[in-house]
Structure 1
Amino acid sequence: MTIQRRQFIALGAAAAAAVPLVASCAKGGDDVSAPQTLPMSDQTGKVALPDQKGQVIAPTSAADVPGPVPGAPLSKEYVQAVGRTAYLWGWPLVNMHNRQAKFAQAPYPGLLGGVLPMAPANQLAMLSDYIAPEQRFVTCPNQDVAYGAGFTDLSKEPAVFQVPDFGDRFWVYQIVDQRTDSFAQAGKQYDTTPGLYLLVGPDWNGEKPAGIDAVYRSSTNKAAVFPRVFMDDTDADRAAIKPLVNQVMMYPLSEFTGEMRTTDWSKAKTIPNPNASGKTETAWVVPDKYFEQLPAVMDEVKPLPGEEALYASIRQVLDAAKEDPQLAEALTEVAVGTEKEILATMFEFRGNGIDAGNGWRTQMNAAQFGTDYFQRTATAKGNMFSNMASETKYFGTDFDSDGGRINGSKAYSVTFPKGQLPPVNGFWSLTLYNKQHFFHPNKLNRYSLGTKNKDLVLGDDGSLTIYVQPDSPGADKESNWLPAPAEEYSLFIRAYWPQEPIIEGKWMPPSVSTVRS
């Protein structure tokens, strides 16, 4: 089924224009044949006009544009039309709000359910190994890195995060605001030096404390930090990484001493998880509750330049629904309908990104969405917390080279010709996800193959073939085998710190070829 991109229309847009006006009348000997151009704006930003009867001054900023009239009698149909746009636009923001609220309940930095790093606000927790397949916090995790996770409430106070000396090891911290847009860059590719760094909110006016290497400002008080530290799939590297990740920490500025702190994350305590069961991602957005939460979320996330009209139109509808139970019910109806009719179609990889060749799709503006509401929401639905494209390029596919849905009734091969592995400075991997975008449990406990694997076998011609199927392709090929479920599934290529051929779209992922039907 082809997923058509829906255009998001902000109701009531602001426009500023400066146009030459031609005199339509004149007095006495005035020359009516020559156009008379009005003066440009003065230093106040207002258009300086001559004493010209009848001229209406055009808006020159968003603040000059008249907004919706309070108390207007809004119909159910109008409320639902705006409500649908509001649901699509605000879904990732509400999602982030609820994730932060869940983390804020953590009694201490630890592991939720024994598998997911979780910490109170302005702190983080780290894993010392790959993430377990049982986690349901976020879809499309990888098993190439030791993850960390932390959310902030910078309205309380700034947060300090630590960067240890990782040496030659690849690492990157993803640091995003409530829109999931990156606002800080920290990692090996940025030559970030070991040290102590400060995250501050939009209203912070303090001075950089002594001992802090840099200050990064978020446009929202709610933000998130996700350290990723690459690790080979060997016992030796598991041991080597521990003293490094033990120095990956975040804590409130009030606890800052100027010294690098450490904690043994391999001994992190378990935080009970009453919602541990389930096959799908935790429902971070509940349609029935969405419009009850949206007003507070809009207060948390101020409009981007150009979004003022969208905010005004949505607030008008929310205010009307607050006074009219029938309109409130109409908004709930549209939330439930939009989740089912539109959001569900965004989940699979075919509902996101652009064509990358051979049936794969790739994201172009992850973590830099701006006003691309479609892409932000589609990513939040199917693969939230994607890194910026300059940090990581993602390629996902649901289809084989014949256009058929990838499924366990067939056996597939993915062959990278000699010299055509993903060109990266960091690492690459090919991951298999089940229908819910989580790992498929298997006897090898193998969910991806790539740079981390030291026993991959190349062909005589120097190519690398990965076999994707439910049963073993044979003992001589088993090191290159990705075990698959019997049902439908998807494949995903990661390229961390991509080189120019990937960034410029000159490198194409290989076909997913059917070798047995």
Structure 2
Amino acid sequence: MKESALQPEALARALSPAHADLPDGAGAPARLANEKYVESLARILFYWGYPAVNTYGRTSCWEAMKGAGPGATLGLFPGAPKNHTGYLDDYMSALQRKVVTPNNDTIYGACFADLAEDSVVLQTPSQVPPGHYWTVQMADLFTTVTHQIGSASRTPGGKFLVVGPDWQGEKPPGFLGVLRSPTNLAVLMFRCFAARTPEAKAQARSVLNQLGAVPQKEDRPGPLRFDCEASARNKVFPRGLTADMLAADPDLLRHRPVNALTFWDDLQVALDANPRVSTDDAPMAAQARVLLALRAVDPAWRALVDRTTLAANAELHESAKYHQAGAAAGNGWQRQENGGAWGSDWFGRAQAAVIYIYVNDFHEAIYFIRGTDAQGELLQGRYRYTVTFPKGALPPVDRDRGGFWSLTMYDQDYFMVPDSPNGRHNIGTVNLDANELAFASDGSLVLHLSHAEPPEADARANWLPAPAGQFALLVRTYVPTPPLLDGSYRLPDVQKSVAREA
């Protein structure tokens, strides 16, 4: 596509009618037409740019971790200086109230890379037990997955060079390949499966310690070594905030990562740092620069754009609910069928950024969500629910390539239950591998969901505690097989029991 030769400022000037003040209101229709166009454009651009503002805001970890080395930002999240990798050494804490819908199956690592400053060397593990799951998800500024490597694709151990859109050169000798990002900012998310046993978690840490990224200038011959446990111990807090304060009030971190009041200023910063974007995003980036120019020079246009943004933000968050988002996937479940591979689906991508940002490419993992029961009523902790998998009908994931599945419980704001009485936040492979669940005599697996503890022993064995109020469910299926990918496999419905908590 050939871009306009006019600069954004010139195109912005053309959005104001030449003679909007004609006598007797004759210029009003033209003014209204242009206002409607700008209003519509602002709304679409807000959805398009929402993930970019969300992602770029997370680079605040660069400054927070500068001089501190890889560690745990706020003691809860993997963080690191620019182009380095930070790690946790266990599941993300259920107490945190900042990141929505984290999984409770893997140990996380993360690297936010500025590829305009330096390319990044990404190392993959060489010593991995057969069937152990690990992945590196590489996403651009807009959260679109550009590369996904790991056990699912049988990626060998070695090194890759991660480069930006303007990089020119050859693959370094001995490297496995070059991974190019369409934007200067690249997000590398590391996930390493760990069942609920000390041995399984030790195994995950061993794999994670071979997995990471460093600036190219810090690379050296031979394998690099990382230390997820040292990273997790290095808890870094900003001035004025302490671990005791967060323990006393986890909601200190509860705020939306995108501020509608500063959205356009934040988008300007993100685009200035990422002048090149993917071919799917390039036309909208050009339109965004026009709208930014218009907003900068005319207070009336600025007021219209800002008012539209406030409405679009409120509407986005109402549509991005587990009982609204996604397409029907059978038995009351929904899924975003193009998860991670967003293309030009700007609205779906924005919804994902609200409810589960940085989802993997759907070939790597499929996410099924729901907020209602089999009768279409909102899920409530005061009721008892069951999910029954018939014999031989657990989610069909490829265990040989590390596949696993889980059903995770979230409250209505999509955080885990902080005070789970049995310590569970999900049920799935992590429990099966630890021999924690009980199958019925007919071979079925019946999961029990409720706030109150079930009185029956077999129900308690398979109990996933719910919050007292409204809740939502997410089933992750990592390394899905064809029946999951083509939709022929259907998850069982969520059935409400007659019993109700007293």
Please indicate the TM-score interval, normalised by the length of the shorter structure.
Answer: 0.7 to 0.9
Residue pair 1:154, 1:222 contacting (<8 A) in 2 also: yes
Partner residue of 1:330?
Answer: 304
Q: Please report the RMSD computed on the Cα atoms of aligned residues, expressed in angstroms.
A: 2.1
CA 1:308–1:99: 2 relative to 1, 3 Å:
closer
Paired AA for residue 145 in structure 1: T
Paired AA for residue 210 in structure 1: P
Give the drift of 1:505: 0.2
Give the drift of 1:86: 1.4
Q: Distance in 2 between matches of 1:136 and 1:319?
A: 36
Q: Distance in 2 between matches of 1:308 and 1:219?
A: 10
Partner residue of 1:152?
Answer: 113
**Which structure 2 residue ranges, 5 or more long, are not aligned?**
17-30
Partner residue of 1:286?
Answer: 259
Partner residue of 2:19?
Answer: none
Residue pair 2:453, 2:465 contacting (<8 A) in 1 also: yes
Q: Which has the larger radius of gyration?
A: 1
1:314-365 CA-to-partner distances (Å, cap 9, x unmatched) read 333321221122322322222112111x211232123322100111101211
**Which structure 1 residue ranges, 5 or more long, are not aligned?**
1-60
Partner residue of 2:225?
Answer: 262
1:500 to 482, 494, 497: 482
CA 1:93–1:307: 2 relative to 1, 3 Å:
closer
Q: Distance in 2 between matches of 1:467 and 1:278?
A: 29
**Larger displacement relative to structure 2 (295-304 or 446-455):** 295-304
1:335 alignment partner, SS class: helix
Paired AA for residue 237 in structure 2: P
- Is 1:397 the counterpart of 2:358 in the alignment? no
1:247 alignment partner, SS class: coil
CA 1:210–1:279: 2 relative to 1, 3 Å:
same
Paired AA for residue 500 in structure 1: P
Q: Distance in 1 between matches of 2:467 and 2:100?
A: 17
Give the drift of 1:298: 3.2
- Is 1:166 the counterpart of 2:147 in the alignment? no
**Larger displacement relative to structure 2 (130-139 or 485-494):** 130-139
Partner residue of 2:40?
Answer: 81
Higher helix share: 2
**Larger displacement relative to structure 2 (74-83 or 386-395):** 74-83
Q: TM-score, normalised by structure 1?
A: 0.84
Partner residue of 2:426?
Answer: 448
Residue pair 2:382, 2:452 contacting (<8 A) in 1 also: no
Give the drift of 1:265: 2.0
- Is 1:232 the counterpart of 2:195 in the alignment? yes
2:439 to 434, 458, 468: 458
Residue pair 2:280, 2:343 contacting (<8 A) in 1 also: no
State the identity %.
32
Partner residue of 1:110?
Answer: 71
Partner residue of 2:236?
Answer: 271
Q: How many residues align?
A: 456
Partner residue of 1:12?
Answer: none
Paired AA for residue 406 in structure 1: L
Partner residue of 1:298?
Answer: 271
1:452 alignment partner, SS class: helix
Give the drift of 1:192: 0.4
Using CA pairs under 8 Å that are at least 6 residues apart, name the structure with larger relative contact order, 1 or 2.
2
Paired AA for residue 181 in structure 1: T
Give the drift of 1:462: 0.4
For residues 340-489 of structure 1, the aligned pairs below 5 Å read 340=314, 342-425=315-398, 426-441=403-418, 442-453=420-431, 454-474=435-455, 475-489=457-471
Give the drift of 1:146: 0.9
Give the drift of 1:285: 0.9
Partner residue of 1:128?
Answer: 89
Residue pair 1:162, 1:249 contacting (<8 A) in 2 also: yes
Residue pair 1:115, 1:135 contacting (<8 A) in 2 also: yes
Q: TM-score, normalised by structure 2?
A: 0.86
Q: Distance in 1 between matches of 2:385 and 2:252?
A: 25
Give the drift of 1:130: 1.1
Give the drift of 1:228: 0.8
**Larger displacement relative to structure 2 (449-458 or 470-479):** 470-479
1:50-93 CA-to-partner distances (Å, cap 9, x unmatched) read xxxxxxxxxxx434798974522525554333211211111111
Partner residue of 1:8?
Answer: none
